[in-house]
């Protein structure tokens, strides 16, 4: 029970990696705010957590909307009295669009969800964690945040920026007892592909050049286990780290 009694918010928790994180956190004793943009997914995950003996409440939220971000964090405080752990997992792909095909609309949409949303949740959570003298933030980035061509220009930029934001928060709030770390998954079998429509042929072909070196795809729970470690007190000396979980793909 590594998160016994702790209150956690998990974004994008209605499926894939986020769902695995929310369920694992609840199994480890956390009281979980399950947040996702799809109401049916929120209801299902909350129901399954409660049926398994855990504690959870659902919040339908779009991380791109400031008012929804406020609602997520406020729900944790109102229902569970505090906030101990924040996991920024929600994200969208960018159709592998390269820089010369990139539109302002696509750039702004991807960065709003993948970067501005996490910034806002962090900004809202920090005063709560500072007042109580501690907390853990785990941001789910991607190997695209440590490499150059695992996705299109916008997604790659958003995940590199998430790494930079995380390191900044980690150091600046270290003396407040707050840790901020990053998990960078490789290819994981989730439904994020639902956010890919009409991929750029140019960008897709360039991205595919490196996929033959990927040892295998991962499962959501393999990433959730890494997130659990970083969120727990077992990782008390880990701050500002980027943990790549990709079966060795980026080691090639």
Alpha carbon of residue 108 to chain centroid: 19
Give the whole-angstrom CA distance, residue 170 versus residue 225.
21
Name the DSSP letter for residue 237: T
* Contacts for 53 with CB less than 8 Å, ≥ 6 apart: none
Catalogue the long-range contacts made by 77-82 (C-beta closer than 8 Å, 24 or more residues apart): 77/128, 79/31, 79/33, 80/7, 80/31, 80/33, 81/7, 82/7, 82/128, 82/132
- Catalytic residue flag (residue 171): no
- Residue of 155, 171, 173, 204 with catalytic role: 155
Taking the C-alpha atoms of residue 26 and residue 28, their distance in angstroms, rounded to an integer, is: 5
SS3 77: helix
- Residues catalogued as catalytic: 155
């Amino acid at each position: 029970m590594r998160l016994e009694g702790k209150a956690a918010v998990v974004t994008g928790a209605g499926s894939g990696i986020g769902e695995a994180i929310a369920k694992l956190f609840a199994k480890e004793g956390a009281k979980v705010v399950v947040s996702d943009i799809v109401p049916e997914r929120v209801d299902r995950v909350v129901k399954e957590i409660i049926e398994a003996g855990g504690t959870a409440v659902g919040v339908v939220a779009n991380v791109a909307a400031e008012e929804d971000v406020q609602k997520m964090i406020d729900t944790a405080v109102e229902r569970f009295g505090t906030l101990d752990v924040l996991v920024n997992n929600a994200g969208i792909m960018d159709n592998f669009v390269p820089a010369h095909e990139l539109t302002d609309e696509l750039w702004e949409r991807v960065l709003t969800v993948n970067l501005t949303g996490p910034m806002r949740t962090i900004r809202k959570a920090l005063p709560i964690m500072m007042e109580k003298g501690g907390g853990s933030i785990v941001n789910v980035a991607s190997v695209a945040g440590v490499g150059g061509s695992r996705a299109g220009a916008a997604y790659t930029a958003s995940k590199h920026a998430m790494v930079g934001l995380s390191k900044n928060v980690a150091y600046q709030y270290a003396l407040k007892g707050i840790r901020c770390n990053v998990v960078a998954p490789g290819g994981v079998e989730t439904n994020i592909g639902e956010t890919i429509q009409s991929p750029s042929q140019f960008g897709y072909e360039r991205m595919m050049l490196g996929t033959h070196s990927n040892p295998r795809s991962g499962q959501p729970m393999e990433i959730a286990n890494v997130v659990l470690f970083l969120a727990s007190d077992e990782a008390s000396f880990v701050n500002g780290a980027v943990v790549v979980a990709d079966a060795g793909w980026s080691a090639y």
